[in-house]
Chain A
Amino acid sequence: MPLIRRLWERLILHLDGFLLFAAGLLMLAGLVVLYSAADANLSRVTGQAVNMAVALAIMWLMANVPPQHLARMALPLYALGMGLLIAVALFGEVSNGARRWLYVGVTRIQPSELMKLAVPLMLAWYFDKNEATLRLRDYAVAAALLLAPLLLIFRQPDLGTAVLIAASGFYVLFLAGLSWRIMAGLAVAGAAAAPVLWSLMHDYQRRRILTLLDPTQDPLGAGYHTIQSTIAVGSGGIAGKGWLKGSQTHLDFLPERTTDFIFAVYSEEFGLIGNLVLLILYLLVIGRGIVITANAPTFFTRLMAGSITLTLFTYAFVNMGMVAGILPVVGVPLPLVSYGGTSMVTLLLGLGMLMSIQTHPKLVKT
Chain B
Amino acid sequence: MKRRVEIRNHQRELYYFRLRLAIAAGFVLTLFALLLGRFVYLQVVQYEHYRTQAEANRISIVPVVPNRGLILDRNGEVLAHNYSAYTLEITPGKVADLEATIDALAEVVDVAPKDRKRFRKLLDESTSFESLPIRTLLSDVEAARFAANRFRFPGVEIKARLFRHYPRGESASHVVGYIGRINDRDLEKLHEDGEYPNYRGSDYIGKVGIEQSYERELHGITGFEQVEVDAGGRAVRTLSRTPPVSGNNLTLALDARLQEVAEQAFGGNRGALVAIEPATGGVLAFVSRPGFDPNLFVEGIDPQNWEALNNSLDRPLNNRALRGVYPPGSTFKPYMALAALELGKRTIHQTISDPGYFTFGGHRFRDSKPGGHGIVDMYKSIVASSDTYYYMLANDLGIDAIAGFMRQFGFGSRTGVDIEGESEGVLPSQEWKQRRFRKPEQQKWYAGETISIGIGQGYNAYTPIQLAQAVATLANDGVMFRPHLVQFVERSGSGERRQIEPQPTRTVPLKPQHLEFVKRAMVGVNREGTGARAFAGAEYVSGGKTGTAQMFSMKGEKYVESRVQERLRDHSLFIAFAPAEEPKIALAVLVENGGFGARTAAPIARQVLDYYLLGKLPRAMQPQAEDDDATD
Contact = CB atoms under 8 A, between A and B. Distances in A.
A233 B50 contact: yes
Contact of B232 (A174, A252, A271): A252
A234 B21 contact: no
Contact of A317 (B35, B44, B230): B35
Contact of B39 (A171, A232, A310, A324): A324
Contacts of B36: 275-276, 279
A248 B39 contact: no
Given A276-B36, A279-B36, A324-B42, A230 B58 contact: no
Contacts of A267: 39, 43
Interface residues of A, number: 43
Contact of A253 (B25, B35, B50, B57): B57
Contacts of A265: none
A191 interface: no
A272 B42 CA distance: 9
Contact of A234 (B28, B34, B42): B42
Contacts of B360: none
A272 B41 CA distance: 10
B296 interface: no
Contact of B57 (A231, A306, A317): A231
A175 interface: yes
Output the residue of A234, A248, A252, A275 with the most chain B CB within 10 A.
A234
Interface string B208-251: 00000000000000000000111110001000000000000000
Interface residues of B, number: 37
A253 B231 contact: yes
B308 interface: no
B196 interface: no
Contact of A247 (B28, B46, B57): B57
Contact of B17 (A175, A236, A276, A279): A175
Contact of B40 (A177, A272, A287): A272
Interface in A53-93: none
A362 to B, nearest CB: 13
Nearest to B6: A132
B226 to A, nearest CB: 14
Contact of B43 (A234, A251, A252, A293): A234
A304 B53 CA distance: 45
A302 interface: yes
Contact of B20 (A175, A230, A287, A326): A175
B39 A275 contact: yes
A336 B43 CA distance: 24
A170 to B, nearest CB: 11
A290 interface: yes
Interface in A141-183: 171, 174-175, 177
Nearest to A227: B53
B236 A272 contact: no
Nearest to B42: A234
B230 A253 contact: yes
B50 A231 contact: yes
Contacts of A282: 32
17 contacts: A175-B20, A175-B24, A177-B13, A228-B231, A231-B50, A234-B50, A237-B43, A247-B54, A247-B228, A248-B58, A251-B229, A251-B231, A275-B36, A275-B43, A279-B32, A321-B38, A325-B38
Interface of B: 13, 16-18, 20-21, 24-25, 28-29, 31-32, 34-36, 38-40, 42-44, 46-47, 49-51, 53-55, 57-58, 228-232, 236
A-B pairs, top 4 by smallest CB distance, nearest first, are A234-B50, A235-B54, A252-B231, A234-B42
